């Protein structure tokens, strides 16, 4: 059985900490995979998180546009961490909206039945549209040449 990764989450050894201000201590940031650290890294969580919404396609469009604008602002300021975090919020808009499109209430596992995976295809079509909106902005952000340049420089400097 495929169980949720959060069941055995090792918070102590997780690379990202909510007690760190990554703007003041940027050398502590790690790029990571996918959306890692997105709901932790301050002050970016406070700056981007309030705009992250996907309930309806109209809300998703407004949200993804605002987050993409933040992404561009971070790039203008050569703030790789901010740009990477905005990119992660766009990615998370896609993945979370897809979760709600695939599973009723966005719940993939049944906690009352040994975390058995719930039936797929019970979600909302409206969330699939929201997911497509975020997907477009996420891929646009990933394809940005300045983002790629800053990411490469970051990896060379900090690993």
State pTM to two decimals: 0.88
Residues of the chain with pLDDT under 50: none
pLDDT single digits (tens) 117-158: 877 777 788 999 999 999 999 999 999 999 999 999 999 998
CA nearest neighbour of 115 among 124, 107, 106:
107
Q: What are phi and psi of 148, to 5 degrees?
A: -60, -40
The predicted pLDDT at position 6 comes to 66
pLDDT (0 to 100) of residue 78: 97
- What pLDDT score was predicted for residue 109? 82
Return the pLDDT at 149. Answer: 97
* DSSP conformation class of 31: -
- The residues, any chain, with a CB within 8 Å of residue 136's CB and separated by 6 or more, are 64
């Amino acid at each position: 059985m495929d169980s949720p990764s959060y069941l055995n989450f090792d918070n102590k050894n997780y690379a990202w900490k909510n007690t760190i201000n990554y703007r003041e201590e940027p050398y502590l940031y790690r790029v990571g995979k996918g959306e890692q650290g997105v709901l932790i890294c301050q002050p970016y969580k406070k700056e981007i998180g309030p705009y992250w919404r996907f309930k309806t396609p109209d809300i998703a469009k407004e949200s993804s546009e605002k987050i993409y604008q933040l992404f561009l602002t971070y790039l203008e300021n050569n703030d790789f961490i901010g740009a990477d975090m905005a990119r992660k919020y766009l990615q998370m808009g896609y993945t979370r909206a897809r979760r709600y499109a695939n599973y009723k209430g966005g719940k993939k596992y049944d906690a009352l039945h040994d975390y058995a995976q719930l039936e797929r295809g019970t979600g909302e079509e409206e969330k699939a549209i929201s997911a497509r909106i975020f997907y477009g902005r996420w891929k646009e952000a990933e394809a940005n040449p300045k983002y790629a340049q800053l990411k490469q420089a970051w990896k060379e400097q900090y690993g």
